[in-house]
Structures are given as C-alpha cells and as structure tokens.
A = this chain, B = another copy of it.
Amino acid sequence: MKRVSIKDVAREAGVSISTVSRVLNNSAPVSDDLKEKVENAIKKLDYMPSNIAKSLRKGKTGTIGFIIPDITNPFFANIVRGAEDYLRQRDYTLILCNSDQDEKQEVKLLETLISKHIDGLLFTGTGNFNPVLAEKIERGFNVVFLDRIIQGISASYVIVNNSKGMYELLDYLTVTGHKEFVFINGNKETFSAKIRYETFKKVMGEKKLKFTHFYTNFSYEAGYNFGKKMKKMPDAIVCGNDLIAYGVIDALEDRGFKIPEDVSVTGFDDIPFSKHYKPPLTTVRQPMYEMGMKAAELLVKIIEEKQINTEGIILEPQLVIRGSTRRG
C-alpha cells in the first residue's frame, strides 16, 4: 500500500509542507485560500498523517502497553476493557500482551514494548521483584501497577483493599456459624494471594478457629483437582478467586456433596458469571472495570503531567452474599 505523505499533499495543493502541517494541526494561522486548497488536496489524495513519523519527531507515541497474565480470565478481560475504554477516549491505543505469569516472558515483553516507545505501561505481573523493570522505572519509565504490586519497587499502583475484603468475608462467615475453614489460595508469588492469606491467618488466630491453607493457582482446574481429593469437609471453603470456587463446587458436587448444605464455598472477584452460577457464588467483588479505568487514568495523568511523585489508589471491595454459603 503506497502511503501518501505530507509532501504529496503539499505538491498537490501547491504549498509548502509546513503550511500543510499548519492546517493539519491548527498550529498557526493560515489564509482561508490556502487552507481550502490544502483541505481539497487532502481529500483528493485521501491523505492520513503518519503517526509514526509524528512519534519520532515528538518522542511520544500515544501507545500504552498492558501486560497481563491471561486475557481469557474474565477478571483480566474486564480490567482491560475498563482501561481500553478510557484510553480510547483519550486517543491512546493499547498494546495487549499475555504473559502467563512467566517472568522471562514478562521481561521480554517489557523490552519489546519499550523498543516500540510506549508512553507508559500497565502492569499486572507476578509479584516477584523484577530488576529490569525496576531499572526502567528508576530511569523514569512510566508504569502503573495494577492489582499486583511488586515489593521493593516504588511506583504508582491501583489495587483493591484485599485485606478488608477478606475481613468482611470472614466476618460474615463466622457470624453465620462457620467454625472450621479451608483456604484454597491462588499463586503463591502473587501479591493479592499473599495479602489475603495474611489477613485470613490473622482472623483465624484472633477468633481461634481451625483452618488449613494451600497455595495453588488461580484456575478452575486447580479448584477442581483440589475438590476431588479433599478428605474431611470443613464448614467453609474459602477460595482465592471465583474460578477456583467453581472448580471446587463442581468437584464436590460430582462427589455427591451439596453446596451449601454440606459445606459453604466462597470466591473472590465476582466475575460476571458468579451471579449466575449454580449455586450463585458468595464472593468478594472487585471493581474490575473501574480498576482498569482508574489505572489508565492515573497513567495518562503521569504521562501528561510528568509528575514525579508516585500515587497509589486503593479501591474498595464489596462482600456479595449469595447462595453458596449457609446462613447459619
């Protein structure tokens, strides 16, 4: 596809390229006469400015990178949607990358994105310290951490108050008479998994409740496998996210257990399907769309205002009580 450039337009209109540039960007007054000529030429040639030349010139691409574990997980899909909606409206464009939580992949993607001159990065990675990323941030690379913070790196972030969510969940569960717990958590390295476990353990200790805890990973299969081989039933099974809860419920039902009569099961996230699951899932809602949107908003702010001090946004979770838990 032969591209038509500003030069072609200038020639067609019989003016200089700077004049074309001026009418294009309204960056300086141009006589009506020439302006019209230029506009006609643009239409005639179906000219479209090259953003990449513009980027080279201005040192800004209007492109944001987003590294997430897996777009196939509705939790991330909804976050991405929130981010993209905001960015689109602000005339930014989103490069999406799936990392599968692989650290090597994360680094590689980061480098690719940087060499593509992204203006900023939305990052949801493993929680492990990433020296490459840390160094870039040190040098002024714009990053907003989303849902998952990395300890030891000082940067802006948008997260949910996981601790509070867990508190409210356990509060409800204990009030409704649950006394013995199993916590099937997600990936061990993950920031949110860690926080939730900390809070969980603390509450268990305070209320002197019996519990066991396991790290697995944030997937349906992990929950299903666990549910298949569980021996003794506790009063409640707390799951690291909704997908795990789905798996546990299905496995348990396959084995003839009734949810919530035999055991209560809870999730975390409240992805759209949880409302319609059978039984509908008691879970802690994370404002996914809003997380994505806020993070994008924060990132754009950082980019455009070049503010140096980092900012953290903590969103509120919300306990959603549905049919997968006994009411006492």
Closest to A111 in B: B48
Is the CB of A51 closer than 8 A to any CB of chain B?
yes
Q: Is there an interface contact between A96 and B72, defined as CB atoms closer than 8 Å?
A: no
Q: Is there an interface contact between A246 and B1, defined as CB atoms closer than 8 Å?
A: no
Closest to A82 in B: B72
Q: Known: A71-B77, A96-B94, A276-B246. Is A117-B84 also a contact (CB below 8 A)?
A: no
Q: Give CA–CA (A82, B246) in the complex, Å.
A: 24
Is the CB of A315 closer than 8 A to any CB of chain B?
no
Is the CB of A95 closer than 8 A to any CB of chain B?
yes
Contact with B along A258-302 (1 / 0, CB 8 A): 000000000000001100111000000000000000000000000
Q: Is there an interface contact between B52 and A56, defined as CB atoms closer than 8 Å?
A: yes
Closest to A94 in B: B96
Q: Is there an interface contact between B276 and A52, defined as CB atoms closer than 8 Å?
A: no
Q: Is there an interface contact between A85 and B98, defined as CB atoms closer than 8 Å?
A: yes
Q: Give CA–CA (A246, B61) in the complex, Å.
A: 42
Q: Is there an interface contact between A52 and B61, defined as CB atoms closer than 8 Å?
A: yes
Contact with B along A101-122 (1 / 0, CB 8 A): 0000000010111111100000
- What are the residues of chain B within 8 A of A84 when measuring CB–CB? 71, 96-98
Is the CB of A55 closer than 8 A to any CB of chain B?
yes
Closest to A288 in B: B72
* 26 A-B residue pairings within 8 Å (CB atoms): A1-B141, A2-B139, A3-B117, A49-B115, A50-B115, A51-B115, A52-B61, A52-B117, A53-B56, A56-B56, A62-B116, A71-B80, A71-B84, A72-B74, A72-B81, A72-B272, A74-B74, A81-B98, A88-B98, A88-B109, A91-B112, A93-B112, A93-B113, A94-B95, A220-B276, A278-B278
* Interface residues in chain A, defined as those with a beta carbon under 8 Å from any beta carbon in chain B: 1-3, 46, 48-53, 55-56, 59, 61-63, 70-72, 74, 77-78, 80-81, 84-85, 88, 91, 93-98, 109, 111-117, 135-136, 139-142, 220, 246, 250, 272-273, 276-278
Query: Ordered nearest first, which 4 A-B pairs have the shortest CB separation?
Result: A278-B278, A1-B140, A96-B96, A51-B115
